[in-house]
Amino acid sequence: MTTQALSTYPEAVRDAVARTRDVVAALHAELPRWGLVVWTAGNVSQRVVVDPAAGPGPDDLLVIKPSGVTYDDLTPAAMVVCDLDGTLVDGDRSPSSDTAAHAYVYQHMPHVGGVVHTHSTYATAWAARGEEVPCVLTMMADEFGGPIPIGPFALIGDDSIGRGIVETLRDSRSPAVLMRNHGPFTIGKDAKAAVKAAVMAEEVARTIHIARQLGEPVPIASSDVDSLYARYQNVYGQG
């Protein structure tokens, strides 16, 4: 399965696609490294952004993994390029079965530059219960600004999952949603940020599950959640 549509784009766009392929391929290696996926499950995508100095670029391309390919085989060249209708633009393989969901998020959340989906054990267990992960850790207040919400049940293959992601996260500070009976999807300013959110979602889902085996976790006051979130998002780190 090959298409040559990318050859019709300007050189600056093709260069941006090549850089994005490198990034997305490298970030896929983080999913098994952090224990977030098994076999060929899961996917990372990133919106293609052209350096403004090179002139105007497309707002309609994403890079994502091909469907059913093992992580050891996910080289930059193996990545596929699609438009925001989920149509293949460049690549030798069929795109991920979640491509339509990713594309829908990019279409309807312009600030999102990266999307990740995993089947990580603890976060997916909460999704199987249809239960949000409560915000009872400062780490969670920092990263998610509240609970990790539950999204609706949706079948794979069209943009139904994407619609559920957007509907759930549009008015939420959380970069993660647990799609009911399915698993976590995360968003970020780029793919690296979305991968971080996926790692953090699994960590807090695991920790809070363990805490609940010992008793009822102690909630954090909403005002303190707000304060922690503001500090972490605006002050923490190297700016």
Distance separating alpha carbons of residues 166 and 110, to the nearest angstrom: 11
pLDDT at 56: 58
Note if 122 is an active site residue.
no
Instruction: Catalytic residue, from 102, 117, 122, 159: name it.
Output: 117
Give the CATH number, domain containing residue 41. 3.40.225.10
Residue range 196-225, pLDDT digits in tens? 999 999 999 999 999 999 999 999 999 999
In a domain, 122, yes or no: yes
Q: Do 125 and 205 form a contact (C-beta atoms < 8 A)? A: yes
Question: For every residue of 86-127, which 3-state class applies, written as one string?
Answer: CCEEECCCCECCCHHHHHHHHHHCCCCCEEEECCCHHHHHHH
In a domain, 175, yes or no: yes
Kindly give the confidence (pLDDT) of every residue in the chain, 239 residues in length, as a single tens digit, with 9 standing for 90 and above.
556 688 888 899 999 999 999 999 999 999 999 999 999 999 999 999 998 776 656 679 999 999 999 999 999 999 999 999 999 999 999 999 999 999 999 999 999 999 999 999 999 999 999 999 999 999 999 999 999 999 999 999 899 999 999 999 999 999 999 999 999 999 999 999 999 999 999 999 999 999 999 999 999 999 999 999 999 999 988 76
In a domain, 149, yes or no: yes
Largest Cα separation within the chain, whole Å, is: 60
pLDDT at 2: 58
Decide: residue 218, CB within 10 A, 0-12 exposed, 13-18 middle, 19+ buried.
exposed
Note if 236 is an active site residue.
yes
Instruction: Catalytic residue, from 119, 190, 226, 232: name it.
Output: 119
Domain count, the chain: 1
Instruction: Catalytic residue, from 15, 60, 142, 190: name it.
Output: 142
In a domain, 239, yes or no: no
pLDDT at 7: 87
Note if 171 is an active site residue.
no
pLDDT at 197: 98
Six token digits for residue 31: 């999913």
In a domain, 192, yes or no: yes
Q: Which domain does 92 fall in, by range?
A: 5-234
In a domain, 123, yes or no: yes
